[in-house]
Amino acid sequence: MNINCLRIVTPYPQVKLISLKSRTHNFSSLVLSLKLSSSVVMSYDKEFTAAKKAASIAARLCQKVQKALLQSDVQSKLDRSPVTVADYGSQALVNFVLERELPSEPFSIVAEEDSKDLRKDGAQDTLQRITDLVNDTLSIDGSYGSITLSTEDVLKAIDSGKSEGGSHGRHWVLDPIDGTKGFVRGDQYAIALALLDEGKVVLGVLACPNLPLASISSDYQHSADREVGCLFFAKIGAGTYMQPHNGSSPVKVQVTAIENSEEASFFESYEKAHSMHNITSSIAKKLGVKAPPVRIDSQAKYGALSRGDGAIYLRFPHKGYREKIWDHAAGCIVVTEAGGVVSDASGNPLDFSKGKYLDLDIGIIVTNQKLMPALLKAVKESLEEKASS
Ligand SMILES: Nc1ncnc2c1ncn2[C@@H]1O[C@H](COP(=O)(O)OS(=O)(=O)O)[C@@H](OP(=O)(O)O)[C@H]1O
Ligand SMILES: [Mg+2]
Ligand SMILES: [Mg+2]
Ligand SMILES: [Mg+2]
């Protein structure tokens, strides 16, 4: 065999060209070198372990705050969305854990929060509260000895690795609390962490501390006696798993196998302002969906869908709203690795390589492979009807 170089097509753009130094390579040494190089690139094992640990520790802080949520914890950012000490504490912890667990890797992260407001006069009490929460959580976890972070350390941790993402290299993507409104209401929220490699999501972790372990298909109601708390995790090519917070073993999950759209139930944002309900109800009607939409906050919707609780997630924000990558990256891989499909309203896959925003066509739709053609048809017709009305 006489080969100078070999082009391989993989989902990993960095494995494109392998030069062979010698023309005398035999076939078995070629196969061996390919196996070695692709396993190094494809594993993401260290990152996956670190991501699960980071999201789980952050979830503990969030649970503690949600339980004791005081009105004074809610601040107002410029966009008027509520941001709590838990959003900042969660982000500080995730960044701290990722940097500690992966010391030999450059740290780059596109994350929702930053420390600007916390550096202003009058924010000292809030910052102290966040610092205490972070230190308490680290001390209970115990992995990092008797470390105590100062307020300055916490500010630095919140901003650590701050990046705009993009199509080159590796970037973490973090929503330290997705569904802040649900969190404040005492309802659903998620800690959503994903890793982009060359613009593609290669792993994702969704901690959903309030999501019932049992299905929430069409009868979701907040109920104190249901056991709650799930960690969803997915790695490219390796499927999606759900691990209950109660310490039970992870289980592999799959999206629903439903083929008949009349039997499908669908998820929507809890906040009515986040989706155009005239469009989503028209789509549901065309599909013959009988059940009313299940409204829950945050990427817990993607988690629930990945284990087959519902069949469809529709998200059609009002004109002018730009979706951020941290609101979808982890959820997207959790659903696709469970056999689902996530696309924009025209059927294009979501593109996470453009920086912090997703440039998409109108809305986001999620379902299984069987239902997607009918869903796309219903979306197209509904949008055409809206445009002509
Ligand atoms: N107007 C508007 N339209 C669409 N989406 C918006 C809008 N405003 C905010 N957001 C983002 O929605 C994130 C929460 O999404 P959800 O679908 O879970 O909505 S909600 O929880 O029911 O409010 C929420 O994420 P967090 O800020 O992390 O909570 C926002 O990024
Ligand atoms: Mg927010
Ligand atoms: Mg969010
Ligand atoms: Mg958030």
Q: What is the pLDDT of residues 1-16, one digit of tens each?
A: 334 434 343 444 333 3
**Ligand nearest to the Cα of 269, by number:** 1
Q: What residue type is 61 in one-letter code?
A: L
The C-alpha atoms of residue 328 and residue 316 are separated, in whole angstroms, by 14
What is residue 20's predicted lDDT score, i.e. its pLDDT?
A: 38
What is residue 174's predicted lDDT score, i.e. its pLDDT?
A: 99
Interstrand relation of 240-244 and 190-197 (parallel, antiparallel or unpaired): unpaired
- CA torsion sign for 99, 102, 106, 109 is negative
The C-alpha atoms of residue 118 and residue 128 are separated, in whole angstroms, by 10
- The complex's ipTM works out to 0.93
For residue 377, how many other CB atoms are within 10 A of its CB?
13
- Residue 180 is among the residues annotated as catalytic for this protein: yes
Q: What is the pLDDT of residues 299-356, one digit of tens each?
A: 999 999 999 999 999 999 998 999 999 999 999 999 999 999 999 999 999 999 999 9
- Evaluate whether 267 touches 304 at the Cβ level (below 8 Å): yes
The C-alpha atoms of residue 240 and residue 204 are separated, in whole angstroms, by 9
Asked if residue 384 has pLDDT above 80, the reply is yes
Local structure of 99: helix, strand or coil: helix
| Burial class of residue 129, CB neighbours in 10 A (0-12, 13-18, 19+) | middle
Q: Choose one of 74, 77, 206, 271 to mutate for the ligand 1 pocket test, by most ligand atoms within 8 angstroms of C-beta.
A: 271
Q: What is the pLDDT of residues 290-311, one digit of tens each?
A: 888 999 999 999 999 999 999 9
Q: Which two tokens stand for residue 339?
A: 């056999």
**Residues in the chain, overall count:** 389
The CA–CA distances, whole Å, from 302 to 74, 226, 310 equal 26, 20, 10
DSSP one-letter code for 249: P
Asked if residue 377 has pLDDT above 90, the reply is yes
Give the predicted TM-score (pTM) of the model: 0.88
Max CA distance (Å), the chain: 72
CB contact set of 13 (below 8 Å; sequence gap of 6+): 198, 199, 200
Report the mean per-residue pLDDT for the chain: 87
Ligand 1 binding site (Cβ under 6 Å of any ligand atom): 81, 112, 175, 177-182, 269-271, 273-274, 297-298, 317, 321, 324, 327
The C-alpha atoms of residue 288 and residue 73 are separated, in whole angstroms, by 43
- Evaluate whether 235 touches 261 at the Cβ level (below 8 Å): no
Q: What is the pLDDT of residues 201-234, one digit of tens each?
A: 999 999 999 999 999 876 666 566 689 999 999 9
Percent of the chain with pLDDT over 70: 84
Q: What is the pLDDT of residues 28-70, one digit of tens each?
A: 444 434 433 443 456 999 999 999 999 999 999 999 998 887 4
